[in-house]
Homo-oligomer: A and B are copies of this chain.
Amino acid sequence: MNVIVLKFGGTSVADINKINNVANIVEKQLNNNKLIVVLSAMAGVTNQLQKYIDEIKSEENLENDLILTSGENVTIGLLSSILKQRNIKSIPLLGWQLPIITDENHIKAKILNIDKKRIYKFFEKFDVLVLAGFQGINLNGNITSLGRGGSDTTAVALAAAVDAERCDIYTDVEGVFSSDPNIVSKAKKINKLAFEEMLEMSSTGAKVLHTRSVELAMKNNLVLQVLSSITKKSGTFIIDEKKLIEKEIVSGVSYSKNESKITISGIPDKPGISAQIFGLLADGNINVDMIVQNISQDGVSANITFTVPNSEINIATKILEENLKNIKYDSLKTDKNVSKISVVGMGMMSQSGVAKKMFKTLANKSINILAISTSEIKISVLIDEKFTKTAVQSLHEAYNLEK
């Protein structure tokens, strides 16, 4: 039995016309396949629900998940009804009905188990299972959610559970681009991308896919395709690195304005201080990213600069200030007006000079680099936020990505 998983985001199911368009795609993909179709709520609906939650300042995550997962009832019901009217054997299923079992972490639950046998049982009677994305149920019988964008992860988890031939992620763009087309007019669609590259691009700011969905696809070696629900063109295939014939040195330039910089000055320059600082932050579940440490010229005190997500800057500052006595630093400065610019590419591993070109390009534009972090296939730099556009555009040109 061939199973294909199709996932449609909120903009692809935003109204009845668009849901009819989704039904057309489903009908075309059916042939002799069995399909699992994962849907988000109509665009804007989950935002409205989040507004209610913000209005009452609700930190009750069991309740918040119950509220946030309600929009999918509507889209899966409508699509399944349209499919049945076309004589397609379809059934709508909420997370608890399959079920998609998750851990107990509301708002950001992780999928623990999807029973393959249950899916095959449904396939005995139905050709299309229309699943609510983004939601699951924990072992206490409460509804959980996988976090915003979590429908991608639902789709990939289902594809992994049934060893699907392919997992197609339909969205409102034609695929993954070499950079953000809103900033770089010459950005082009990438045809093939390695999982590792997609992962680095997602985690450095490209908002095409939920990061966890890429990790899960890589772990299960699934073929992922990102494509448009409007144009009929093929999209970006995200595949195993070994299947990439030509490895681009740089595949894309991504950016994130969602970073804050913290600088701690006048720390005693002795062993164990860094471990103490980052240990405290780790205990507080703070995600520290880029780190730069400078020893001062007197050789006695040091400065440490690092970045955290904007959403965690207040907690991080609070933790550090509460531990002022233990760390004995002089001052603590924070700066939200920074931006992380990243270049990502599998070919970097075997090619030198990529970093040099990056630094030179930014220097030519008089952009100062505040911090650097690298992986085997990525170089990220932290810069003043106001240079974001110039930096992304000039790097896209420097690596010749518009070709």
Contact = CB atoms under 8 A, between A and B. Distances in A.
B92 A78 contact: no
A81 B70 CA distance: 16
A63 interface: yes
A16 to B, nearest CB: 5
A153 interface: no
Interface string A60-95: 101110110111011011101110110000011010
Nearest to A20: B56
A141 interface: yes
Contacts of A62: 91-92
A80 B60 contact: yes
Contacts of A60: 80-81, 84-85
Contact of A81 (B19, B56, B77, B97): B56
A56 B13 CA distance: 14
Contacts of A76: 66
Contact of A66 (B56, B58, B92, B141): B92
Contacts of A19: 56
B70 A84 contact: no
A55 B16 contact: yes
A96 interface: yes
A249 interface: no
A52 interface: yes
A171 to B, nearest CB: 22
A62 B92 CA distance: 9
B70 A56 contact: no
List of 3 A-B pairs having minimum Cβ-Cβ separation, nearest first: A70-B73, A67-B77, A63-B81
23 contacts: A16-B52, A19-B56, A52-B74, A52-B78, A56-B78, A56-B82, A57-B85, A58-B78, A58-B81, A58-B82, A58-B85, A60-B80, A60-B81, A62-B91, A62-B92, A63-B78, A64-B77, A64-B81, A66-B73, A66-B92, A66-B94, A70-B70, A97-B141
